[in-house]
A and B are shown apart, each in its own frame.
Chain A
Amino acid sequence: MSDVTKPSGLSKDAVPRQGAVEVAAGRRENLAPGTPLLEVDDLHIEFHTRDGVAKAVNGVSYAVSAGETLAVLGESGSGKSVTAQAIMGILDMPPGKITAGAIRFRGQDLLTMSPKARRAVRGRKIAMIFQDALSSLNPVLSVGFQLGEMFRVHQGASRKEAKEKAVELMERVRIPAARQRVGDYPHQFSGGMRQRIMIAMALALEPDLIIADEPTTALDVTVQAQVMDLLAELQAEFNMGLILITHDLGVVADVADKIAVMYAGRIVETAPVHDLYARPAHPYTRGLLNSIPRLDQKGQNLYAIQGLPPSLLRIPQGCAFNPRCDRAEDRCRAELPRLVPVLGADGEDLPGRRSACHFWKETLHG
């Protein structure tokens, strides 16, 4: 990282600190302009279970650039976490099986890489933050060891150096008295602190991309905000790509650039974050938005989408959402809607906006 010279052609949404820009630029120099950092292309994943084949992911495509935050939104079972696990290469196979598609990181397909090359990407280039830090941290190893392990394994650091870097990391994620606590075990920390340690671990080698799988779900509301702010701040500082997986629309609004909404293993809508909040183009997204309690609508009945998410063993014919959709017609039960670009009321392009609904026009403009 010493021969940092060439600025890259990447757009900088965030304005990181001077040093960080140089560092980030140097590390990303090989990326051709316009090439996304990570590209998921028509990914299909199945799980072979006793009861049959569960189609967890059915043709998901999305892309993330450096410095960009993509929020992937969906209920449990929508395939959002499974996609993330496939990107990380931590999918349980079997029963899981990637049947089609590609995952390109800096233009290289991760799925066809050798195991060794793949391992070099994991943790170093792409890191993951898990939902439940208590169960995701090893209970019998000190947090210092677990953080330092990244440097020891990937950079060959000595025990002492690793510990020193672990302390630095803990300070960076603002854990008080980091030096005293570096030898403590996960169960000795509070939930928020543990999640900070998870973040520190993901950040350790300053990866290009971080996947955060419901990073705040297990935390108290006040702590949630702190952790999200920290994550957003560090992302901007290092100009990392971030995939934020969540079922919570509230978390997304402040930090994400764009959103992909998933349902039954497919993306049903993508949009820049504020457009989606203002005017959803898919009935499912609209239902999700309507089911958020709002202060200005106090006293009104809270909206709930009727029915349950479909079993992935038996995904409904046509549009998977049709049994729960109040707009569903015969066409929805017969024909699978493709994810198509949606247009504004006057036929103008809406960049980044796509919907997989036969009636996107009515939903968006009606």
Chain B
Amino acid sequence: MSEPTKSENTTVAIPGQAGSGPAAGGAAAPAAGGAKGGERVASLWTDAWYDLRRNPLFLIGGFLVVFMVALAIAPQLFTDGDPSSAGFCNLNDSLKRPSAEHWFGFDVQGCDVYTRAVWGARNSIIVGILTTSLVVAVGGAFGLWAGWTGGLWDSTLSRVTEIFFAIPLLLGGMLIMSTWGKGNAWTVSAVMAVLGWPQIYRLMRSAVLSNKHNDYVVAARALGAGTGRIVSRHILPNAVAPVIVVSTINLGVYIGAEAALSYLGIGIQSPAISWGLMISDAQARFLTAPHVLLFPAAVLSVTVLAFIMLGDAVRDALDPKLR
């Protein structure tokens, strides 16, 4: 690394480029902290929304996500072809280059890559959403429970998550998927959820623990609020933000992982369409017909990117420290 800063001004600026928030020693910050958890959370989201609407990352990411979900729900709207129909593939078209009528060209079987890529969105989106939902449901519930009750259950569950953390997603996925053998969107989601839940568990547990002893929770309890009310009104709203951020990013990561498993041949199986599978099929002729691999790869990457951008934007908006 060469000299990191050249002018004095930058040096001075480093310690607290406090972003655009109220200046350190300057303006009195608008007091945002009500006594109740709910109010704090509300203002957090209001502020976040203010930021998000102006964040190009959020707008682009959001648009792409909506577009991909539309592809998944109604692929017919985006293409006339139907990959499951007879005569969809024509060996005469094998490996034909992209053209005006066939934007992405043809694969080795003579199938239209564009149509397959459009229809492939469904499995990816299903895997992403399903895995994330399962992970949030299981990890969230366990994390809430462990954090709230503490004691033996907490320590046992935390040990168990350590074991799961020791097994990398792809290795574990390979083991279980080869055990199961029946690769489809549902089984792949289930397997990734089994391996992925500890992450949300940890997040939820620490959010609960850090809020459990906050003054307003103690006050609510002293006022006679029941466990259900405290958890739903005070604990959960405060834990939701980090869970949403991580889940949005992970949704993209899971879509990528599904593609990796399918690419290895132990994820979604043919004749179902998966971008990972398309890439896997195209790899042998990559050097001669790169478009067959690159188009599904691009669509996959853009989808993953969209979710990560969305999650990133939400995190930046919700993290007051980075303001």
Contacts and interface: CB of A to CB of B under 8 A. Distances in A.
Chain A: interface size category: 20 to 34
B26 A77 contact: yes
Contacts of A76: 25, 28
Given A94-B17, A95-B18, A115 B26 contact: no
Interface of A: 47-51, 54, 56, 76-77, 79, 81-82, 85, 89-96, 114-116, 118-119, 308-313
A6 to B, nearest CB: 33
Given A51-B22, A54-B22, A54-B23, A92 B28 contact: no
Interface stretch (B5-13, B63-71, B232-240): B5-13
A81 B25 CA distance: 7
A82 B25 contact: yes
A22 to B, nearest CB: 34
A47 B13 contact: no
B4 interface: no
Contacts of B27: 47, 49, 51, 54, 56, 77, 311-313
Contacts, number: 80
B52 to A, nearest CB: 14
B24 interface: yes
A311 B27 CA distance: 6
Interface residues of B, number: 21
A50 B21 contact: yes
A100 to B, nearest CB: 17
A54 B18 CA distance: 14
Interface string B17-44: 1111111111110100000000000000
A308 B27 CA distance: 12
A77 B27 CA distance: 6
Contacts of A94: 13, 17
A88 to B, nearest CB: 9
Contacts of A54: 22-23, 26-27
Contacts of A116: 8
A311 B30 CA distance: 9
B226 interface: no
B26 A47 contact: yes
B73 to A, nearest CB: 38
A310 B13 CA distance: 26
Contacts of A82: 24-26
